[in-house]
Structure 1
């Protein structure tokens, strides 16, 4: 086998799923689970902050916005850095930032200090998702990529749901400070495990001379073979040579798809974070207890876990852009109907679950889809900048939550208003599908 070459993507696609690949998926699942928990924590503790600090609902808007603006900055910065310096290295930095930021947030004496600390925490949170999605995608075989990466990414929405369940139980016992301490200590304890057990991206290591020994060990674990002496491993070098990581997003045939992808992320995350941050407070104002409001709100991410996995099974068979437009349209309809069920606890729980199943299920698989649209050199940038477009939507959604609530006039109209962006996202996905130029995975050379 001397003087031969081996395409790493083809090797992963043709080999059985190894324990190393399962380890990558599990570790990424745990990281994004804690990412989701810390992201949602501020929404679940918001009612307690209102009472503890004797402030108005509108005064929390800068706190929500600061964290999301930090995520936007983290998404913009850490994607290109990961394409240049490696997914694992950047991911470790991001986990450390959001762990320490969450711990410090537990000591906040005022809204102003909390807003600054949430901004710092958000920078770390913003870099976690794109790197975990990219790593999971690059270690998953094409035949089951949508399902495996969705299972790994579902840790994020499960973390959001876990935040609701934990908040409902622990807030009366440990207060909002205790909840944030838990959210900061958990990723700090996971950090050394990531350092020792998480491998770097195989395609990234193929271009790095200092990673060649680690790459060979990784290939041996994936393939179950040790006779790779004299073999040169390659990623998708032909695609890397043509464009920088950012320019590749707007290369021929990519610009329209990139812009439609950004529009979809913007609209979906606009609504998702508006619900995540404001739904517990809206439900409290409608007469629900703190525990009940947290449990109902948790249906948004919990439904997304099940929706994401169920739809990933379909997408591996039918293609993502045949499934996602209809799933997103279902989310718009479910949200429009939510306001009419506020006085019926069981039906409200069901309709919020359906909204989570469809809207959050779309987001789960949309992130996975983004990882399949770009070559290795620009993959982390493509995912992170798409998420950054979504972060811009999430900032606006969170900041405008109070204004939309007051302008809509009543809660049924409020939910109809926030269904409109989800409908726009569905139309954008339909346009992506109708172009007929999409591909479920980039052609590797």
Structure 2
């Protein structure tokens, strides 16, 4: 009987058809999430008229959605480490598709908030599950790049929503944006059949047959069987306790808080831009189609920042890439507040996308690799859950700014502050206490020790 650590086998594997299947499903899930989250910001200008609400009220509705995502990240994110991430992912996709569809029929803003809030709970739970699964099943030597490429699906979803919005808002109604979400339910049977559960979950449950099948597919061999003894090194050496408590074990407490602050800042920027960018550009004198093209430009910047950042992580390390993006973003938002050139606006919006969502896409795997195997899902979900405080505040604060006499374009200046805050927080993360640290092509492992 052989003793086998599934994480080690997967980390040392080469990318093959099995990895590709997982990548494509995670890409689909995150694309759906990006599409659904972008819907509100795209539909907002018409909703203001249809529901006869003020910008402040619209900002509050956007914040309610983010509160739902925060609740879902805490409830469903940590639950994935207990009942399995695949179950959380499947349940989330079903609820998101169904209740966004229902939100399209809402006769008033109160009904819309209820349906959107329920959908948002699962939007918050989906993201940590997808990121954790993709990171777990990626070969270590190019994990950062694979996760980054997968996460570009979020921006692809945003672009898809913008393109559909240009058509729907001109010929149909903002409600069609939400009705199309129901199509997600059609793929659930295929997801259940093709997508594997986390090996960490299987090890806990003693599902040796499933683990052996997964590892044989990962390695393209028949080297593993149910008679093998499967274990997770990090789990066996960790102190006992609930998952959230373990985030503060082994000198990780300070870095955990720094991660939370960094994510609060990035999600404040992402939510603020996602909810209000089309409206900011329309109030600045651009038409409906032009304002949605700015949203698409933002998404293109997110994709470029994620891919380029993932590529550079494998060369200069996570922290160096993240700090470069965030300090660049700080300068970018200051410039956006004052420029009058349309061409420069497009360039700066793209850079803003790279430095906000692009940065968050790279922080997620950085956080995931920081913690031991058995609490990676919890570490990421709690960080994103706390970070949703920023998501709640972002749309609300921009809505309040719109109630003042400040020029709409000046609102970009407010994004520079959380961008700088995130950079400073990441400066204080103590990588010497991380489980895995990627410093360029050199990858350092540190097994957790008994406290």
Sort the Cα spacing of 1:55 and 1:28 in 2 relative to 1 into closer, same or farther, 3 A: same
In structure 2, distance between residues paired with 1:204 and 1:412: 48
Name whichever of 350-359 and 227-236 sits farther off: 227-236
The residue aligned with 2:352 is 355
Name whichever of 113-122 and 243-252 sits farther off: 243-252
Name whichever of 10-19 and 287-296 sits farther off: 10-19
Q: What TM-score do you get using the length of structure 2 for normalisation?
A: 0.93
For residues 121-162 of structure 1, give each alpha carbon's deviation from its aligned partner in whole angstroms, at most 9, with x where no partner exists. Answer: 100100000000000000011101100011112211221232
Does the alignment pair 1:321 with 2:315?
no
CA contact (8 A) 2:27 2:150 kept: yes
Q: What TM-score do you get using the length of structure 1 for normalisation?
A: 0.94
For residues 168-226 of structure 1, give each alpha carbon's deviation from its aligned partner in whole angstroms, at most 9, with x where no partner exists. Answer: 233212311111111x22321221221111100122212213x3222221111111221
Does the alignment pair 1:146 with 2:144?
yes
In structure 2, distance between residues paired with 1:186 and 1:328: 36
Counterpart selection for 1:409 from 406, 409, 424: 406
In structure 2, distance between residues paired with 1:256 and 1:57: 38
In structure 2, distance between residues paired with 1:414 and 1:331: 15
Cα shift at 1:70: 0.7
The residue aligned with 1:186 is 183
Name whichever of 295-304 and 136-145 sits farther off: 295-304
Sort the Cα spacing of 1:275 and 1:408 in 2 relative to 1 into closer, same or farther, 3 A: farther
The residue aligned with 1:115 is 113
For residues 264-307 of structure 1, give each alpha carbon's deviation from its aligned partner in whole angstroms, at most 9, with x where no partner exists. Answer: 00011111111110111111111211111011022222211111
CA contact (8 A) 2:200 2:373 kept: yes
In structure 2, distance between residues paired with 1:71 and 1:171: 26
CA contact (8 A) 2:271 2:391 kept: yes
In structure 1, distance between residues paired with 2:402 and 2:421: 20
The residue aligned with 1:221 is 217
Counterpart selection for 2:77 from 76, 79, 83: 79
CA contact (8 A) 1:37 1:163 kept: yes
The residue aligned with 2:275 is 277
Does the alignment pair 1:298 with 2:303?
no
Q: How many residues align?
A: 439
The residue aligned with 2:205 is 208
Which structure 1 residue ranges, 5 or more long, are not aligned? none
CA contact (8 A) 2:268 2:392 kept: yes
Cα shift at 1:252: 2.5
Q: How does 1:50-65 map to 2 (within 5 A)?
A: 50-65=48-63
CA contact (8 A) 1:62 1:115 kept: no
Does the alignment pair 1:420 with 2:417?
yes
Sort the Cα spacing of 1:227 and 1:413 in 2 relative to 1 into closer, same or farther, 3 A: closer
What's the Cα RMSD here?
A: 1.8
Counterpart selection for 2:131 from 130, 133, 137: 133
Cα shift at 1:241: 5.2
CA contact (8 A) 2:128 2:381 kept: yes
CA contact (8 A) 2:55 2:403 kept: no
In structure 2, distance between residues paired with 1:423 and 1:400: 17
SS at match of 1:108: coil
In structure 1, distance between residues paired with 2:27 and 2:260: 24
Does the alignment pair 1:250 with 2:232?
no
Which structure 2 residue ranges, 5 or more long, are not aligned? 439-444
Sort the Cα spacing of 1:199 and 1:380 in 2 relative to 1 into closer, same or farther, 3 A: same
The residue aligned with 2:441 is none
Cα shift at 1:408: 7.8
Name whichever of 12-21 and 126-135 sits farther off: 12-21
In structure 2, distance between residues paired with 1:282 and 1:88: 38
The residue aligned with 2:231 is 234
In structure 2, distance between residues paired with 1:427 and 1:405: 29
In structure 1, distance between residues paired with 2:167 and 2:297: 16
Cα shift at 1:73: 0.4
The residue aligned with 1:373 is 370
CA contact (8 A) 1:27 1:194 kept: yes
Name whichever of 408-417 and 142-151 sits farther off: 408-417
In structure 2, distance between residues paired with 1:241 and 1:21: 32
Cα shift at 1:406: 4.5
In structure 2, distance between residues paired with 1:196 and 1:178: 30
Q: How does 1:5-44 map to 2 (within 5 A)?
A: 5-44=3-42
In structure 2, distance between residues paired with 1:118 and 1:81: 22
Sort the Cα spacing of 1:444 and 1:31 in 2 relative to 1 into closer, same or farther, 3 A: farther
